[in-house]
Amino acid sequence: MSGHNESILREPLITGKNITYAKITDDILRPVENKPNKAWWIGFIISLCGATLWVVSVSYTFWFGIGEWGLNKTVGWAWDITGFVWWVGIGHAGTLISAVLLLFRQNWRNSINRSAEAMTIFAVICAATYVVSHMGRPWLAYWVLPLPNQFGSLWVNFNSPLVWDMFAISTYFSVSLLFWYTGLLPDIATIRDRAKGMRKKVYTVLSFGWAGNVKTWQRFEAVSLILAGISTPLVLSVHTIVSMDFATSVIPGWHTTIFPPYFVAGAIFSGFAMVLTLLLVARKVLGLENYITMFHIESMNKIIILTGSIVGVAYLTEFFIAWYSGSEYEQYAFINRSTGPYWWAYWMMMTCNVISPQLLWFKKIRTSIAATWILSIVVNIGMWFERFVIIVTSLHRDYLPSSWAMFYPTWVDVSVFVGSIGVFFTLFLLFLRVLPSIAIAEVKLLLKSSSEQSKLELIKDGHLEKEHVTEYVESLEKFDSVKQEEYAEI
């Protein structure tokens, strides 16, 4: 219950003075209830240009066909699947934050889960657009569904990882959407009860009639817990299946059993980086420094070091196993990756994913907003290159040297990718305007136990051990939203 006092040694999850339940609502709903500022409009217009580019390039692909992409008969998969895997991976952090951290009772998830889940949904939408646009005949997209013979000549091949992937991605998207929307209901009701006129009508429909009575809340928590329990294996299965698209083939460089855990770690790695990229800007522009604190940023950075190191170990293991297997094709695939014509992509991946995240071991760097933001973008660049390296360098030199080729993207390839980033940011910016970017009800739960002001009261009560208080006050030094002078007196 809210009445219990949390240990003073834990860092506060809400900072600031005079935070009340009403202030939490006001602070979080400010961007939703007011006209957007200039920064939002600038961001939105740029993103909208990107989204337009996406519409143009995808329409161009549909009109003229996949031949407009830079693929050739050796490299039959390149930017499209790179973009697809990149986006699906980014989506994984949202589910990790909302489901896995809920199961582990990590309360710091409460103020970042909402926007991370929104990010998941938009990232999966971007990924799904690649699936549809690479089909060439998107109006026949329903052929991937297990429909009986009259629709085609046969059933879909249930032995194929591509069919598994269709099930995995669509399940992942719809379950994430359910989880996100159910969690939104109480917060939509908050907007509804403060709104007037047309706005009120719209949010009334969206709130499903939420009233916040005891039974609904109690069932709500039960549903959240079960959904978290089933989303946790789901998120692991999704990237496992994505990795099986490669791992079940017999292409040297793809045919490895390490792929599932390696892809899942990479997905979480890139997802957290994208969460940081988005939230570091959002917290500043929307003035949410008291809710998304330095503790949150540092915690996410710690997850980035962990998963980044797992990815690093996986890169080295792949190399070792290629040598140890004694298979010269496998060995060549890896030597070609690191020293062949795509050496620059390989070393770009190594630098961005393995070397630069190690800088986060330094406390100064992982608690610096500017450094964190730059590193989060570096990680995302690195993770894009990882997929590019795995896909293109494994394909471009196959068993027959006569068919060796290079892959050169056309303007359509580049525009589909840049455009998908535009689509993603357009959706995210719209989300910030119409729905609360932080789970209001969940943050309210933390106010009485884990906020800076409640801990300050505990200190003032004076029943605590001196060393504990000193340690707590020292841990506050890194917070950019806390003024140290106020603690000097105590």
Contact between 22 and another protein per CB under 8 A: yes
Q: Does 213 bind another protein (CB under 8 A)?
A: yes
Contacts of 265 (CB under 8 A, 6+ apart): 307, 310, 311, 314
Beta-bridge partner residues of 451: 14
- Closest CB to another protein among 219 and 483? 219
Q: Which long-range contacts (CB under 8 A, 24 or more apart) does 334-339 make?
A: 334/253, 336/393, 336/397, 337/253, 337/389, 337/393, 337/394
Among the listed residues 5, 7, 21, 145, the single contact to another protein using CB under 8 A: 21
Which residues share a beta bridge with 14? 451
With CB under 8 A as the contact rule, the residue among 132, 226, 406, 490 that binds another protein is: 226
The one segment of 178-186, 335-343, 377-385, 477-485 that binds another protein by CB under 8 A: 178-186
CB of 204 to another protein, least distance (A): 6
Number of residues that bind another protein (CB under 8 A): 68
Residue 194 sits in the site that holds another protein (CB under 8 A) = yes
Span interacting with another protein, options 292-300, 335-343, 423-431, 438-446, rule CB under 8 A: 438-446
Tell me the C-alpha distance between 443 and 308, whole Å: 29
Q: Which residues of 311-339 are buried (b: 16+ CB within 10 A; e: fewer)?
A: bbebbeebeeebeeeeeeebbbbbebbee
Does 448 sit near another protein (CB under 8 A)?
Answer: yes
Q: Which of 144, 170, 167 is CA-nearest to residue 157? A: 144
Site string for another protein, 303-332 (x = CB under 8 A): ------------------------------
Is 441 a binder of another protein (CB under 8 A)?
yes
Question: 3-state class of 347 per DSSP?
Answer: helix
Interface region with another protein, contact rule CB under 8 A, candidates 180-188, 277-285, 366-374, 382-390 = 180-188
Distance CA 370, CA 86 (A): 24
**Shortest Cβ distance from residue 3 to another protein (Å)?**
4
Kind plus residue range of the DSSP H or E element containing 349:
helix 343-350
Identify the CA nearest to 80 among candidates 118, 136, 119, 122.
136
Q: Is 1 in the site for another protein (CB under 8 A)?
A: yes
Q: Is 14 helix (H, G, I), strand (E, B) or coil?
A: strand
Q: What are the two backbone dihedrals, phi and then psi, of residue 451, each rounded to the nearest 5 degrees?
A: -90, 160
Residue from 233, 328, 361, 468 touching another protein (CB under 8 A): that is: 233
For tokens 């990232």, what's the residue? 123
Per DSSP, helices labelled H in 351-410 are: 363-366, 369-388, 394-396
368 binds another protein (CB under 8 A): no
- By CB under 8 A, is residue 34 in contact with another protein? no
- Give the nearest distance from C-beta 375 to another protein in angstroms: 34
Would you count residue 217 as binding another protein (CB under 8 A)?
A: yes
Give Cα 177 distance to the centre of its chain.
14
SS3 69: coil
**Candidate list 41, 45, 136, 221; residue touching another protein; CB under 8 A:** 221
Kindly state whether residue 90 participates in binding another protein, applying the rule CB under 8 A. Answer: no
> How many Å apart are CA 129 and CA 131, to the nearest integer?
5
DSSP 462: T
Q: How far is the CB of 23 from another protein (least distance, A)?
A: 8
Q: Does residue number 106 form part of the binding site for another protein (CB under 8 A)?
A: no
Q: Among candidates 91, 114, 268, 103, which has minimal Cα distance to 169? A: 91
Does the footprint of another protein cover residue 234 (CB under 8 A)?
Answer: yes
Please select the residue that binds another protein; options are 204, 317, 410, 453, rule is CB under 8 A: 204
Of the candidate spans 61-69, 144-152, 279-287, 322-330, the one that interacts with another protein by CB under 8 A turns out to be: 144-152
182 binds another protein (CB under 8 A): yes
Interacting stretch for another protein, rule CB under 8 A, among 238-246, 313-321, 358-366, 375-383? 238-246
Q: Does 219 bind another protein (CB under 8 A)?
A: yes
Q: Which long-range CB contacts under 8 A does 254-258 form with residues at least 24 apart? A: 254/390, 254/394, 255/330, 256/318, 256/321, 258/314, 258/317, 258/318, 258/321
When asked if residue 215 is in the footprint of another protein (CB under 8 A), the reply is: yes
Residue with token string 């978290």: 228
The yes or no reply on residue 477 touching another protein (CB under 8 A) is no
Confirm if 130 and 80 have CB atoms less than 8 A apart.
yes
Structure tokens at 363: 């406390």
Smallest distance from another protein to CB 163, Å: 7
- Whose Cβ is closer to another protein: residue 305's or residue 445's? 445
Residue from 69, 79, 86, 179 binding another protein (CB under 8 A): 179
Regarding 214 and contact with another protein (CB under 8 A), the answer is yes
How many CA atoms within 13 Å lie on the side-chain side of 360? 30
Taking CB under 8 A as the rule, which mask of x and - marks residues 145-164 in contact with another protein? -x-xx----xx--xx-x-xx
For another protein, the binding residues (CB under 8 A) are 1-3, 20-22, 25, 146, 148-149, 154-155, 158-159, 161, 163-164, 167-168, 171, 174-175, 178-179, 182, 185-186, 189-190, 192-194, 204-223, 226-227, 230-231, 233-234, 237, 240-241, 244, 440-442, 444-445, 448
